[in-house]
Chains A and B, each alone.
Chain A
């Protein structure tokens, strides 16, 4: 079956601009996670959704970052007033409730010039 998909695969933007990154989880997965990975580092947690609600958003670095999942499926990560330090690969993962394995998407590489 189809895995987790993310669009776009690459995004180049200028400092100060607004960007949206999309994640389409595996069908039936109610849990959805956003992470970001900087070069040479492990993924860093951002936010976790169970259904439509954010169960844990403690990883969002500041109020420029926001994520939604209005229908409990597709999620959008929104970054306002982008900064060069936001450049990273943004990874999305999903899982069944009560099943531990998280399945990761291919990521969106964000570059802020």
Chain B
């Protein structure tokens, strides 16, 4: 059974601080996706990581992928309140292009 595990599941951090969210998965997939979801809203694509060693950055967020360790990280630099949301990682299902999601990391950035 394909497993996608995120930790932490809940994260409260102060503005200006740095933190990393971890995503472990059990498939041999070399593609990993990060999405953001605001309360009551749908999912917004943040990053698509397509190969081992891939690193992508957008603003205060940086995502990386290590397919050998089956691990992706989402690093937050100098957090601001606008980053408060739930972040999901996902990997391809073994059968094709649909995705298996983790449970999400609920991030709250406080002053």
Contact surface of A with B, Cβ cutoff 8 Å:
31, 33, 35, 40-45, 48, 55-56, 58-59, 91, 93, 95, 100-107
A-B contact count (CB 8 A): 61
Picked from B45, B100, B103, B104, the residue with its CB within 8 Å of the CB of A102 is B45
Are A100 and B101 touching (Cβ within 8 A)? no
Interface hit among B14-22, B64-72, B89-97 = B89-97
Shortest CB–CB separation between residue B95 and chain A, in angstroms?
Answer: 5
Q: How many residues of B contact A (CB 8 A)?
A: 24
Q: In the complex, what residue of chain B is closest to A3 when comparing beta carbons?
A: B42
Listed residue (A44, A58, A100) with the most chain B CB atoms within 10 angstroms of its CB: A100
B residues with a Cβ closer than 8 A to A are 4, 31, 33, 35, 41-45, 48, 50, 88, 90, 93, 95-104
A101 & B48 in contact (Cβ 8 Å cutoff)? yes
In the complex, A33 Cα to B104 Cα: how many Å? 19
A38 vs chain B, min Cβ distance (A): 11
B42 x A106 contact (CB < 8 A)? yes
> Sorted from nearest, which 10 A-B pairs have the closest CB atoms?
A42-B101, A48-B98, A104-B43, A104-B42, A45-B98, A106-B42, A56-B95, A100-B48, A101-B45, A43-B101
A58 B95 Cβ-Cβ under 8 A? yes
